[in-house]
Structure 1
Amino acid sequence: MKEYTRAQLALRNGQDKEEIWCAYKGVIYDVTTSRLWRNGHHYEHWAGQDLTKELGDAPHTERVFERFSVIGKLLIP
């Protein structure tokens, strides 16, 4: 699986490039096709980031990521 840095993930924020990605538990997901992530944000959450710590505030579980394609792994220094 391809690995990406936090800087590379940050470019997929819905503003800098067409792709909209976010990471959860070290895995990067492509959320580009989700209408809920239009323009790179979903409620108070922003794309191009690791959302692992933020999921506790969400009204859903981690299973929500099952509907999105896996892009790669997040390199965690």
Structure 2
Amino acid sequence: MTKAYSRSQLALRNGQDKEEIWVAYQGKIYDVTTSKLWRNGQHYEHWAGQDLTNELPDAPHTETVFKKFKVIGELRE
């Protein structure tokens, strides 16, 4: 069973408040803590602890980038 997290729980994993760095995409939450591109919770103009679903169309990569990271849980609406 996959654990569900609220937006406020996700927001705490922003690379500042807790050690974990998480982002959400299409309802799934990914742990990007080990990514050098997400140091300090920022990746270019994007911030961790958020749902990036609406941000991806502006990115130079596709959603396949998320395959590199472990799914932590689901984003509860």
- TM-score normalized with structure 2 length: 0.98
Structure 1, gaps ≥5 residues long: none
The whole-number CA distance in structure 2 between the counterparts of 1:16 and 1:51 is: 19
In the TM superposition, structure 1's runs of 4+ consecutive aligned residues that sit over 2 Å from their partners are none
Gaps of 5+ in 2: none
Instruction: Write out per-residue CA displacement over residues 17-52 of structure 1, whole angstroms, 9 at most, x where no aligned residue.
Output: 000000000000000000000000000000000000
Fraction of identical pairs, as percent: 76
Matched residues in 2 for 1:43 and 1:56: separation? 14
Task: State the aligned residue count.
Answer: 76
Q: Distance in 1 between matches of 2:57 and 2:46?
A: 12
Code of the aligned partner of 1:34: S
TM-score normalised by length of structure 1: 0.98
Could you tell me which residue of structure 2 aligns to residue 45 of structure 1?
46
C-alpha RMSD of the superposition: 0.2
